[in-house]
Amino acid sequence: MLDWLQFVLAPQVINGLSIGVAVVLMALGLTIIFGLLDVINMAHGEFYAIGAYAALALIGVGLPFWWALALTPLLMAAVGYATERALIERVFHSKDRHTLTLLLTFGIAIILEDILKIVFGANPLRIEQPISGATEMFGLFFPNYRLFLMAVGTAVIAAVWLLVFRTRLGAMVRAAAFDRHMAASLGVPVSVVYAGTFAFGVALAGLSGVLLAPIYSVFPTMGRDFVLIAFSVVIIGGMGSIKGAVIAGLLLTQVQSISSLVISPVWSDPLLFGIMVLVLMWRPHGLFGRLGHG
């Protein structure tokens, strides 16, 4: 029993934590966009895929992985800002904006996926892991890159929380989310805050793509599966809640990782969606409140 815990369960827990941190980063972008803009971004998975392809392209022109890791979120932020200014803003003030933004981002997702297929092809590509080897802890060996991913992801999650809840900029964002008219009357540039927040959420999706690219293959439809998990995380945690996204993200990925020891992987998605249904039956608004009302 002790050997099973040490050599079977513990590695699965570490594997679930490393994937969970990346899922939380992606879900944070999704929940921040919803919490402030009230926009369900159906293209979030494609922005995650573009982040992975952007890193692949930067490495392809000779830059090291670390430069790709630093530059890709900036590039994705520019893409997100341009998308909000050029497209989202045009329908944002419409009476049917919920439906229109949902359809608009769904259309953006289809277009971006097709562009990736045309530019990079449909075959999977790979990025070599920038950190090799393993570290021994408690008698077990853990891949160094997964430990790095957990450390970076945890630091970014903490930085996002501090930015939103402990800075003047975060206070402006929360004020605009709670009452945009009142915030505008107090001098908050609401439209710029909205565009910046959308860009920030897209940058987090791109960062997740770069971090996970050395673990998974890079292919045009890679965002579909991940965005389903991210949406489950956001719905279970409470749409718009940062705390809920973190807790639900780590919880769901642990369930997914540990359950794979006893059930077939094909039951993984039904299990996650079953948990989501049970949580919604118990708490229709998810486990925690919304960002703008926190």
Residue 264 half-sphere exposure, CB side, CA atoms within 13 Å?
3
Element (H, E) at 135: strand 134-137
The DSSP output letter for 133 is S
Instruction: Give the confidence band of 209 by pLDDT, cuts at 50, 70, 90.
Output: very high
Is the pLDDT score of 80 beyond 90? yes
Structure tokens, 101? 């933004």
Distance between CA atoms of residues 15 and 17, nearest Å: 5
Distance between CA atoms of residues 225 and 60, nearest Å: 26
Distance between CA atoms of residues 202 and 81, nearest Å: 9
Is the pLDDT score of 291 beyond 80? no
Per-residue pLDDT tens over the stretch 271-283: 888 998 998 888 8
Average pLDDT taken over every residue of the chain: 87
Residue type present at position 118:
I
Instruction: Give the confidence band of 83 by pLDDT, cuts at 50, 70, 90.
Output: very high
